[in-house]
Structure 1
């Protein structure tokens, strides 16, 4: 083959030489360079975003703090008539002072309420080093009444309280024996009694009595009211936890009563117990976890002091509460009580009251709600005979009926 022909063939098949090439090998240095570039970009972007978010959060926190301090100052300037002062604080220092004064007030109320708190434990006759580590959990109690030489403590029904022989410890570390007077399982409360003669004079001078039974009807909290939990709400004795009432519309059916249950925004702690005060230092309720099926298990709820007061006072006076034996719901427009349950062998059952009856009167007095029924029963004693007026549906028609019930 001549040189000319060879050159011609080379030009004709040169595309094959271009198509078949050695694969390009990436150099390690190039890969590292790209990785470093990506990392630098990520660091720059992350740093910029962090600074931006931090600045925005700082601005929002300052704004929220300013708004909160202004609202606290307005609340602190309420008049005795309940109206608010129109002038607003002119300086930041005024707002900060009002903010600090408010929390000083909360602290003082908490400390005052805790002077009425005692620790309830079983009565120990052995030395401290002989005690077992497996003891019952301690619980808090509230000194709520003094009558003669007796001092009365309100606490929750528990396996500890039901042992009867108890010991109550005060804030100064001193203790005294206490006995169980009675319980009200409907409310889950127990009342203990101590002899004042067993308590030293110095200890008595430090005790604060919160008698909520006199004005309980005037302390019903409203939505968004500020409250304090004190006693042992977080499992630590003598703790104080501030919060707000977030729900006032919940009710729970109880035997011969309907309890109002209030829900707070304070986190629930298993094993906690205690009481509730408003920002005036008045007891407004007792915390409970007995109704978590209704209220949920996230936040603390409490039953009102108004519901507790009548039962606690009756226990102090050693009055045996009478039993009717129904659960029911309030009818609309105050038309009576719709009976949802009649307890077996109860006075109501033996008297002829049945599920789905509507009770509208007792002894001729109008009964519009379960609260009316509870108040009516509190005026009677065991053995009293009452006439219950009710409506019963028979073949689609409502028939008036009266039954005689002997209370027990």
Structure 2
């Protein structure tokens, strides 16, 4: 519910901008529980014989970038069977044994996956798992000592930081484009059932076929998975942060699906007037607009009208902060939620459940 509210607000803002300027915006996909250890810090690239570090970045990462070709069988319709459909996207090898990160929408519904390596060799691919909500999928090819791309820390990204996108747009293998991180923490809903949160916005050119390819920082580390563009604009591309993509991928490998922690409340930011009335600084607290029946929140005694001020030891500064706290927890984790109710501060222990399938 909370996610739907946020998505509705975001789409309303986009629609308002489109009406006011006479421009139609379109989101376009660019495809034709263990603790995660901190990734090792890669040394800064020191290009030899060239003043352009992009050359060294490409030499490090491009060998691990693959082209993914899919075949989706025809479907029965009122008018007959549709012909099979071919698709194309990109991916990045993350283990020497051939584990590949890509987008769910690149491989969704496919009956056959073929992976073309940077050296031109083509191998059959096996879908290990996919998560439609985060748009991440894991594909496996049989290989040994394959080139891999080092993974960075997307939480360390800064707006204005230089980035490089590598992929196979329109079938042109190993195409390189450059740009900067234009913004962080964007939320997009390209289709029902898919909610892309904390997205990296970049002006590095991303075109059809780039989906699933890496977005790379100036240290030669993958910090994002290129995912979509706004088709009616220029320089508006988006990538999934690698930290979240890696968490999803590990769950897909371990259990074939993603289990997400769930509290079961819908919240809205606390209006400044209400915050002042209860003695909270502006921009803090989240108002509980709904408690889902049978949810962990309902069982713990959280009520509609409560004002959440802390969860899991973290202060709540708006609805996004609560979502981030819950998403950082494992299913079954026990946290304490502090609420204000009729002027009284109450600490409520909650055991988080598993989010229902969307």
Higher RCO by CA contacts (8 Å cutoff, separation 6 or greater): 2
Q: Which residue of 1 aligns with 2:115?
A: 168
| 2:251 is equivalent to residue 277 of structure 1 | no
The answer to whether the Cα contact below 8 Å between 2:153 and 2:243 also exists between their aligned partners in 1 is yes
- The counterpart of 2:67, out of the listed 113, 119, 138, is 119
Q: Which residue of 2 aligns with 1:243?
A: 179
| 2:255 is equivalent to residue 307 of structure 1 | no
- The counterpart of 2:91, out of the listed 119, 141, 149, is 141
CA pair 320-262 structure 1, distance change in 2 beyond 3 A = closer
- The counterpart of 1:192, out of the listed 120, 136, 139, is 139
The answer to whether the Cα contact below 8 Å between 2:167 and 2:176 also exists between their aligned partners in 1 is yes
- The counterpart of 1:262, out of the listed 185, 194, 200, is 200
- Hey, which bits of structure 1, 4+ residues long, moved more than 6 A? 329-334, 340-345
CA drift of 1:109 comes to: 1.7
Q: Report the TM-score when normalising by structure 1.
A: 0.55
Q: Which residue of 2 aligns with 1:372?
A: 325
The answer to whether the Cα contact below 8 Å between 1:229 and 1:277 also exists between their aligned partners in 2 is yes
Query: Which structure is higher in strand share?
Result: 2
CA drift of 1:352 comes to: 5.6
Q: Which residue of 1 aligns with 2:104?
A: 157
Q: Which residue of 2 aligns with 1:252?
A: 187
Q: Which residue of 1 aligns with 2:5?
A: none
- The counterpart of 1:107, out of the listed 55, 62, 79, is 55
Q: Structure 1 residues 311-320 or 324-333, which shifts more?
A: 324-333
- Indicate the SS of the match to 2:337: strand
Query: Which structure would you say has the larger Rg?
Result: 1
Matched positions, count: 281
The answer to whether the Cα contact below 8 Å between 1:220 and 1:304 also exists between their aligned partners in 2 is no
CA drift of 1:119 comes to: 1.9
CA pair 223-333 structure 1, distance change in 2 beyond 3 A = same
The answer to whether the Cα contact below 8 Å between 1:268 and 1:300 also exists between their aligned partners in 2 is yes
The answer to whether the Cα contact below 8 Å between 1:351 and 1:406 also exists between their aligned partners in 2 is no
- Indicate the SS of the match to 1:108: helix
- Indicate the SS of the match to 2:113: strand
Report 1:314-393 matches (<5 A).
314-318=251-255, 320-324=258-262, 325=264, 347-348=296-297, 357-360=306-309, 365-366=313-314, 368=316, 369=321, 370-375=323-328, 377=329, 380-381=330-331, 384=332, 386=334, 388-391=336-339, 393=341
Query: Which structure is higher in helix share?
Result: 1
CA drift of 1:282 comes to: 0.6
- Indicate the SS of the match to 1:209: coil
Q: Which residue of 2 aligns with 1:13?
A: none
Gaps of 5+ in 1: 1-79, 82-97, 126-131
For the residues of structure 2 that align with 1:298 and 1:344, how far apart are their CA atoms? 44
CA drift of 1:275 comes to: 1.9
CA drift of 1:190 comes to: 1.0
